[in-house]
Structure formats: structure tokens, C-alpha cells
Amino acid sequence: MKLSRPVSWFLLAFGVWSWVIWITFVKNLWKDASGLAFDDAGDPTAYFWVHLLLAITSFLLGTAVGVIGFRGVRALRRERG
């Protein structure tokens, strides 16, 4: 399958965006002071584990999409060269 240039760049940008968003989310989750992510004893709550799993899953999917976009961009550059 051959991806168009705009689609390849979109997928690559989406992958980079996922890295930025989800790494920031996990940092904020880790520093949560509202009492949702950690209980009074400082132990992680179910909220923390569910959101960490969500972030890891989204991070991995975003990485996979970004890799597909990167391969598409790279293939298009090889065709031109």
C-alpha cells in the first residue's frame, strides 16, 4: 500500500503529538495533588492505574501510527531520489 504525502505527514505528526500529550499527561498524573491519583497514605488509587493504562495504550498506538507515517514519508523521499 502506498500512502500519499499529506496522509504520511499527518500520521507522523499525530505520532509526535501523541508523545507530547501523553508524556505531559503522565507527568501531571504523577504530580496530582487533588487526591484522585493518590490516597492520603500516598498509595496509587484505581483512578491512577486506569489513567496510567489509558496513557500507555494511547502512547503505544500513537507511536505505531507515527511509525507508519514515518515509513510513508521515507518511502516517498526514496521515490523522488
pLDDT in tens, 47-61: 999 999 999 999 999
Q: Which long-range contacts (C-beta less than 8 Å, at least 24 apart) are formed by 58-63?
A: 58/18, 58/22, 59/18, 59/19, 59/22, 59/23, 61/18, 62/14, 62/15, 62/17, 62/18, 62/19, 62/22, 63/15, 63/18, 63/19
**Coil, helix or strand at residue 32:** coil
Residue 1 pLDDT exceeds 90? no
Query: In the prediction, which pLDDT does 81 show?
Result: 67
Encode pLDDT of 3-46 as tens digits: 999 999 999 999 999 999 999 999 999 999 888 999 999 999 99
Tell me how far apart the alpha carbons of residues 32 and 38 are, in angstroms, rounded to a whole number. Answer: 7
